[in-house]
Structure 1
């Protein structure tokens, strides 16, 4: 399998935040330990020294106050970019995101368009303990008024972040922890996305489409490369799960006739279920067989020593593809 070497996710996000802070005096960062420490994963390292404590602000250990402050800042014309330390710590901020941030524009009859970004380290693969390895993107993907992005490369993270701060509505960006400092990744086609919120076809194929997003995109690509030329797999990196770019998925399914959806969050009532339902409604005639979903069963993320029994790996993806194409 060929690999490419590129900047890690953390490095790309840090560089993008640096540019955004320089370009827009309204933009500021807010989160637990993001200033003096540079964040748990050092994504904001060096930014406080460069831009000062008023623009790179260490917050209280209370996620509700982080997002609550950010909503007020956005209403006053600032552009806050928040960091939540881990996905599992997001729950205390759900009220502020769902009942406040997502509805402010409508509550003011469209007279205000507050820009607000919430960055969330997410997913497993780094031996995190309880609450540190969750994948809760589906929680916000179903909320009207909130956009949800899940990049798998530093390049996509940078593009998403630049777009998010201009959107005029809240964006939650899930950042795969195990990709923060990873540089060697499976080769992918360089074809650009059609728009800032569009999916990207990262491997062309003819036998089966795999739709995926986030860190597990790398496992999908590794499996696809390993199966070639016996099975020619097309891989669609969704990049965003709200809005979902179903047009790209449907065009791919029209070419291959088969669809497998792979994601790291639990299977029940997840992103895969929504994609499967949409393809059944809009692309049924193109299918040569049923849509399959590959994701962990509905249970809490286990302790680190049992993580491998929970997470979907390359072998499971290969086995599922072979079952669907035999």
Structure 2
């Protein structure tokens, strides 16, 4: 698998430390808690316990229980409190323990956080972040494994972000905390401790052996509306994000197809220029994501590429996604778009003449 990842964002200067994605997310919150006294971190078990995935471990001890604190088991309450905090000048980072738990809070996020700037004619903003571990890979079944990103990309006023590696995770989370808009920050659980190629239920390699685990210790950010070309190529373009970035890279290597893999990083606002330039260059496109197929975010990507690249395309655009079923606990690794399914799509696309 090609691990020489390229990015359109220059790497930050300064001392670097090898980090997992968990550690890089913690480092981002640590940096921002130190830089800005208005930043607060809260959610279920994020304080004394340090979070169910340990992303906030040690932050309460360092910054105190008034800035890093536990919340009741009430996602609606967490979201509503975050909206109020943001409106009155704080920059809350609210953790929803699993993305599956966000549904009781959707009204607060959609009706209040996303619309506050518009409803107040700019008098108030919602500078808040909702962190949510998403996707499968931990044998969590239907209530701990969902990928709800398409719900939020459709809402005007929200930004939706999903990193695929430790370097981007820290830079994107810092940029999200600094943003004056509400940000849905989705964290693929399968990537917390290392990249997956989709063949195994464990990382291909620990992050400690990957170049994108070399994370600057201090402050830097990755722009929220910037995609990254993680594998240059000329035969076709793969548009993807989160865990399936690594699946797409594995499929490209195994087929020998010179595929250009583009990591969206920010789902909305979308870096449309980078996507269109890539598809116009390669003239073929495959879209890959873990979420269900029908009305998944891939449908929007297909539509946009048809609108902007129709006269350049030499083959129909393919989609490789999760199934249109409730999350199948017993068939988790068949449900995921794996390298074999992605490779078949690459081959079909290349066979079109």
Tell me if both proteins adopt one fold, taking TM over 0.5 as the criterion: yes
Aligned ranges for residues 270-289 of structure 1 at < 5 Å? 270-289=296-315
2:291 is paired with a residue whose SS is coil
Hey, what's the Cα distance between the residues in 2 that align with 1:73 and 1:108?
16
| 1:298 to partner: Cα distance | 1.6
2:27 is paired with a residue whose SS is helix
1:223 to 247, 251, 274: 251
1:85 to 97, 104, 110: 97
Hey, what's the Cα distance between the residues in 2 that align with 1:107 and 1:152?
34
1:313 to 335, 338, 342: 338
2:316 to 281, 290, 302: 290
1:186/1:294 CA distance change after superposition, 3 Å: farther
| 1:281 to partner: Cα distance | 1.0
| 1:278 to partner: Cα distance | 0.9
Hey, what's the Cα distance between the residues in 1 that align with 2:50 and 2:320?
36
Aligned ranges for residues 73-152 of structure 1 at < 5 Å? 73-152=85-164
1:290/1:178 CA distance change after superposition, 3 Å: same
**1:49-80 deviation per Cα after TM superposition (whole angstroms, max 9, x unaligned):** 11111111100001001111011111110000
| 1:23 to partner: Cα distance | 0.4
Hey, what's the Cα distance between the residues in 2 that align with 1:244 and 1:176?
19
For normalisation by structure 1, the TM-score amounts to 0.94
1:265 is paired with a residue whose SS is strand
- What residue is the counterpart of 1:20 in the other structure? 32
**1:3-37 deviation per Cα after TM superposition (whole angstroms, max 9, x unaligned):** 47952211100011101000000000010000111
1:174 is paired with a residue whose SS is strand
Aligned ranges for residues 181-192 of structure 1 at < 5 Å? 181-182=193-194, 183-184=206-207
- What residue is the counterpart of 1:197 in the other structure? 225
1:154 aligns with 2:166: yes
Aligned ranges for residues 39-78 of structure 1 at < 5 Å? 39-78=51-90
Hey, what's the Cα distance between the residues in 1 that align with 2:300 and 2:34?
39
| 1:186 to partner: Cα distance | 7.4
2:142 is paired with a residue whose SS is coil
- What residue is the counterpart of 2:293 in the other structure? 267
Hey, what's the Cα distance between the residues in 1 that align with 2:336 and 2:44?
28
1:257 to 283, 292, 297: 283
1:39 is paired with a residue whose SS is coil
1:272/1:186 CA distance change after superposition, 3 Å: farther
Q: What is the CA RMSD across the aligned residues, in angstroms? A: 1.9
Aligned 8 A contact 2:168 2:222 in 1: no
Aligned 8 A contact 1:186 1:221 in 2: no
**1:243-271 deviation per Cα after TM superposition (whole angstroms, max 9, x unaligned):** 12221111001111100000011111111
**1:290-324 deviation per Cα after TM superposition (whole angstroms, max 9, x unaligned):** 11111023211111x21122111111111111111
Aligned 8 A contact 2:114 2:126 in 1: no
1:283 is paired with a residue whose SS is helix
Aligned 8 A contact 1:125 1:307 in 2: yes
- What residue is the counterpart of 2:348 in the other structure? 323
Aligned positions, number: 320
| 1:2 to partner: Cα distance | 4.6
Hey, what's the Cα distance between the residues in 2 that align with 1:123 and 1:289?
30
- List gaps (5 residues or longer) in structure 1: none
